[in-house]
Amino acid sequence: MSTAYYSLAEPFSNLELIEKDDSDILRVFDDAGCCGTLVLKKGLGTTVALLFTTNLNYCTVLAYFGGEKVGKVVEIYNKYIKDNDVIVSEHGVPTTLGKVKEGASRILKKY
């Protein structure tokens, strides 16, 4: 099983998803700070988060389990991405490259 991750589209620099009991709150940031807060129907936050990413046909990062002997593998397809950059999983969950790389036994640069 693998998980694809996508970079945020310009001019966005961060997304913060807060899943509450009755709604999802998605805060959107650019370099100047918070540029918008969306209060969404419960469960829509992850779907809307993907709208703030780049082309969904090309992932920036791919993470998968390479088997018992290999462990977690992370493939990076963008040479400019940094560990603190926010990326969004194919499931719509914002995270950072650094968090995806945690526990990886292999990190492959594919650029």
pLDDT of the chain along its 111 residues, tens only? 899 999 999 999 999 999 999 999 999 999 999 999 999 999 999 999 999 999 888 999 999 999 999 999 999 999 999 999 999 999 999 999 999 999 999 999 998
Give me the pLDDT at residue 57, please.
Answer: 85
Residues 6 or more apart whose Cβ sits within 8 Å of residue 50 = 6, 56, 88, 90, 92
pTM of the model: 0.90
Our CA angle for 95, 56, 49, nearest 5°, is: 45
